[in-house]
Structure 1
C-alpha cells in the first residue's frame, strides 16, 4: 500500500510502504509538518521522503545523505545555526560524500568576500566540518579534513579587503580601568573590575546571577565557558564591597528592549551583546583607548599577572582557568615596551663590553710594562 497521510497529536503522520522499493519496509512516522498546515505541505514532505528512501536504496546510505540531512542530525548551538542558514543554500542538496575540502575552503570567499580568512574558518569551515564529522560519528558518511588557511592566503585576503586581520589586542591595565570606571555606569564599572581581577570572559560576567555570589567567603561561582567547568573563584575585598552594594537588575529583552527578563543578573545584562555600545561611550567620554571587554578583562588579567607583576605562568593559568598554558602565553600575554627594553639592553650590553675591553687592555698594558 502507498504511504497514507493522517493526523496525530497535532502533526501530519504517514504510514504504509513505498511501492518502488523491493524491500517492502513498512513506515509509520511523523512527516514533521504540523496539522495546522495544509495537507498539501505534508504531502510534499512525504514525496521528498519517498525520493530520499528510493535514492538510499539505489546508491546506499553514504551517497544518499545530503548536507541538509546531515545538518538535521547535528545539535547546532544558536551561533552555528545562524552560520548554517547562510551555508545551506549553496550545498544543501549535495551528497556529503561529494563535498571536497577545497570546495569548503572556497565557499568562505563566496559567502564573505570582504571577510578575513579567520572569519572564513570560523563561520564556514568549522560549521561544515562539524556537521559532516558528526554524521561520520553516527556512521552515516566518511569524515572530512579541511586544512587551515595559510599565512600567505591570509595576507592576500587582507590586501583584497584593504584591512589587516589578527591585529594584536591592547590589554587592559589598572590605569586604563580606573579611568574607564570614572565614566562608565555603575554596572559596567563593576563588570570591568570583575573581569580584570578574575580573567572572566564577558559572557561569563553577563551570566552571573545573585545566587552565584558568596560574598561572606569572598568568592563567585564562575559559569563554565569554552570547555572549562564552572567553579568557585576568589575575588579581592574591594570587589566584594562593590558587589555587596550593587543591586542586581533584570535586563531588558525582546524587540526594542520593551520587556524585562524575569531573572535578575548581577551586572544587569542579558548577554554580552548589550554591553558594547555603552562601553564604547564610556571609553570616549574618559578620553582613553577603546579597549573592548575581552581585551580589557581576560587579556588584561594575563598581562598584568605575567608581565607587570611577573607571576609564574602555572599560577596564572590556574587562577585564570586556562587549561593550556602555552595558549595563555601565546595569545593572552602581551609584552610591553619591547622596543625600549631591547634598546636599553643593547646599551647595557655595549657598556659592559666596553668596560670589559678596557679592563683587558689595561691588564695587557700592565703586563707588557
Structure 2
C-alpha cells in the first residue's frame, strides 16, 4: 500500500506500508499538493533503501549463521535454514513463513508449527533486524487447541512414591514441591541442598539459564531425608545421570501403583496449577517456578473454574466484612432517607 496523506488540524500527515515497512508521520506542510510531493519522496527513498541499501542482499542463511554465532537456541534451525537457503531476507513475508510451516510439517498441529517454524524463523529475522539488516517481520500464529494440563497432585505423588524407590519417590515430590524441571532436578547435588534452612539451589536448564533458590516444604524435606546417601557435596541427590534415565523406572512405578499415567513434567504442571488454585498470584508462581514470563503461566495453567458459585468469594473479602465500612455505609443511607 502506497503512502496516503490525510489532514489533522491544519497539517497534512502521511501513513502506509512501503516495502513491508509501516511508515507514518507528519509532512509539516499545510498545503495538500506539497504534502503529497513529500510523501512521494519518502516512498521513493524507502524503496531505494530497501532495494539498494547496504544490507539489501542479506540472505536467510547469513542471518541464521549470525543468530547462531550470537549463541541463540539452535533447536529446529537446521530444517528452517535448509528450506530458505539463500532467499533474501527482504523477500520473506509473514505469510511466506506460514506456508513454510505447512511444507516442513505437513501433518503437524498448529502448536508444533508455531513452536518449530514460526517462532524460530521470526527470531532469526528479527535478530537480523536488530543488526539493521532488514525490517522486523510479523507472523500470524496458527490456532492452538488449549488443553487442560494433566497434573501430579500430592495424592498421586504419595501413591506413586509408595511403589517407587526412595530416590524416584523423592524426585517426584521434589519436582511437585518446587516446580523444577526433570533435567534440573536430576542435576541437583547435595552441595546445593540445605535441609536445615529448607532451601535448594535449582540448577540451570536449557529454557532458563539462571539458577534460582527454592523453598523446601516439609513433605519435600522428609522425602529427601529418606534417601539413603552419604550426602557428599558433589553427589547427585537423586542418583540419575541424565533425565532420560528417569523415564523407564518412572513408567514401571506408575504401572505398579496402578495410577493414571502422568509424566515427570506433570509435577511442574501440578506445582503451577495447585498454587494458582490456592490463590497465589501469577507473578509469584512464575518467580517461584523459574518461569521468566508470567504470561506463560497465565496462558498455560490459569484455567477458568467451572463452579458458578465462585463469585460468592467477592462478599467474603475483608472490606465486605469490615464493621467500620458497614457502619459508615449505613450512616450515609440514614442521612439520605432523612
Q: TM-score, normalised by structure 2?
A: 0.65
> Where does residue 167 of structure 2 map in the other structure?
187
Unaligned runs of 5+ in 2: 1-50, 312-338
Q: 1:328 aligns with which of 282, 290, 297?
A: 297
> Where does residue 235 of structure 1 map in the other structure?
216
CA distance in 1, matches of 2:286, 2:121: 32
> Where does residue 157 of structure 2 map in the other structure?
177
Q: Does 1:313 align with 2:281?
A: yes
Q: 1:101 to 1:303 in 2, by over 3 A?
A: closer
Q: 1:68 aligns with which of 50, 57, 61?
A: 61
Q: Does 1:303 align with 2:273?
A: yes
* Conserved 8 A contact 2:201-2:212: yes
How far 1:166 moved relative to its partner?
A: 3.7
Q: CA RMSD in A?
A: 3.3
Q: Does 1:286 align with 2:257?
A: yes
Q: Does 1:201 align with 2:181?
A: yes
How far 1:326 moved relative to its partner?
A: 5.8
More helix by share: 1
Map of 1:12-27 to 2, 5 A cutoff?
A: none
How far 1:122 moved relative to its partner?
A: 0.6
CA distance in 2, matches of 1:77, 1:288: 45
> Where does residue 269 of structure 1 map in the other structure?
240
How far 1:229 moved relative to its partner?
A: 4.2
How far 1:318 moved relative to its partner?
A: 5.2
* Conserved 8 A contact 1:195-1:201: yes
Q: 1:266 to 1:344 in 2, by over 3 A?
A: closer
CA distance in 1, matches of 2:269, 2:197: 26
CA distance in 2, matches of 1:97, 1:248: 60
Q: 1:133 aligns with which of 126, 129, 132?
A: 126
Q: Does 1:247 align with 2:225?
A: no
Q: 1:333 to 1:224 in 2, by over 3 A?
A: farther
CA distance in 1, matches of 2:216, 2:309: 38
Count of aligned pairs between the two proteins: 256
CA distance in 2, matches of 1:76, 1:61: 21
How far 1:84 moved relative to its partner?
A: 1.2
Q: Does 1:91 align with 2:84?
A: yes
Helix, strand or coil at the partner of 1:217: coil
Q: 1:247 to 1:71 in 2, by over 3 A?
A: farther
Q: 1:222 to 1:141 in 2, by over 3 A?
A: same
Q: TM-score, normalised by structure 1?
A: 0.60
CA distance in 1, matches of 2:262, 2:170: 16
Helix, strand or coil at the partner of 2:162: helix
Q: 1:219 aligns with which of 199, 209, 226?
A: 199
How far 1:78 moved relative to its partner?
A: 9.5
Q: Does 1:116 align with 2:86?
A: no
Q: Which deviates more from structure 2 when the two are superposed, residues 106-115 or residues 321-330?
A: 321-330
* Conserved 8 A contact 2:169-2:223: no
CA distance in 2, matches of 1:65, 1:206: 43
Helix, strand or coil at the partner of 1:81: coil
Q: 1:270 to 1:334 in 2, by over 3 A?
A: farther
* Conserved 8 A contact 1:67-1:93: yes
> Where does residue 12 of structure 1 map in the other structure?
none
CA distance in 1, matches of 2:71, 2:235: 22
CA distance in 1, matches of 2:71, 2:258: 36
> Where does residue 13 of structure 2 map in the other structure?
none
Q: 1:96 to 1:344 in 2, by over 3 A?
A: closer
